[in-house]
Amino acid sequence: MSTIRLPNYIYKMRRLRHLFLRENRVSRGGGKLKLKGLNELEMITGFNSLVDDITHLLKLPKLRVLEGTICDEESLSMIVDHMLIHQERFRSIKLRIDMDVNMNSEDGSTLLRRLVMCRSLYYLGILHWRMSKLLAYEVHRYQNVIELNLWDSMTEEDPMEILEKLPMLRELNLSTDAYVGREMVCGATGFPQLRKIMLEGLPNLVEWRVEKGAMPNLSTLEIRRCRKLKMMPDGLKFITTLKKLSIVGMAEEFEE
């Protein structure tokens, strides 16, 4: 996909209310895209902290809907502070975090804790945040997260024990070394609202067990490139809502 060069005069469109941006773009003339003065702006999608001025974003008084990618820790800390201060203003927040952060450190875990306290956060995608285990004591804070995507987090302990407790979660994607352990278990009461789950590129996963009663509303299951996984969970036979099953790039001996 080609890069888009966007003229850096959007800030002159004072009556603009909705701004839809492509993330693979740069501003003409260099520098970050100016948003200062767009006081009527209510929605912005495709925001990217690499090419857009986050200090301008935080000064938009009517912003209600935000979708974007944050690529540095300073910008993430700034936007989390802003979202927590203005909890009542935001209706919908979708964030993709793309940076190297050690979640096993105190600073890393504090940053995640504050992020998930934002009540309007419904989508969270995390790339490259290394964590040996998920933060179990923070589960109650994920009340509004509907979709969760984890990439390259290198989690060593089974994440399902934590994730299955998220009451509103409808879509879960674990991709490319998100989990590096050998076994996963979905408990009998886990994932009450989950509609879709994708497991992709989990290199060490050998066994996945699904207990009767787990994922009672699941409609889509995708398993890709989990080459050590031996067979489909027997417990899937209890899920009567499953409509779509996709198996791609598995070992020849994989038993469906």
What's the CA gap between 21 and 25, in Å, rounded?
9
Read off the pTM: 0.87
What's the CA gap between 113 and 228, in Å, rounded?
33
Predicted local confidence at residue 90, as pLDDT: 94
Neighbour-count burial of 61, counting CB atoms closer than 10 A to its CB (0-12 exposed, 13-18 middle, 19+ buried): exposed
CB 39 within 8 A of CB 66: no
CB 43 within 8 A of CB 65: yes
Query: Would you give per-residue pLDDT tens digits along the chain (256 residues)?
Result: 455 555 556 767 888 999 998 866 665 556 788 888 899 999 999 999 988 889 999 999 999 999 999 998 899 999 999 999 998 899 999 999 988 766 666 677 788 888 888 889 999 998 887 776 666 545 566 678 899 999 998 889 999 998 998 889 999 999 999 999 999 999 999 999 999 999 999 999 999 999 999 999 999 999 999 999 999 999 999 999 999 999 999 988 776 5
Give the three-state DSSP class for 131.
coil
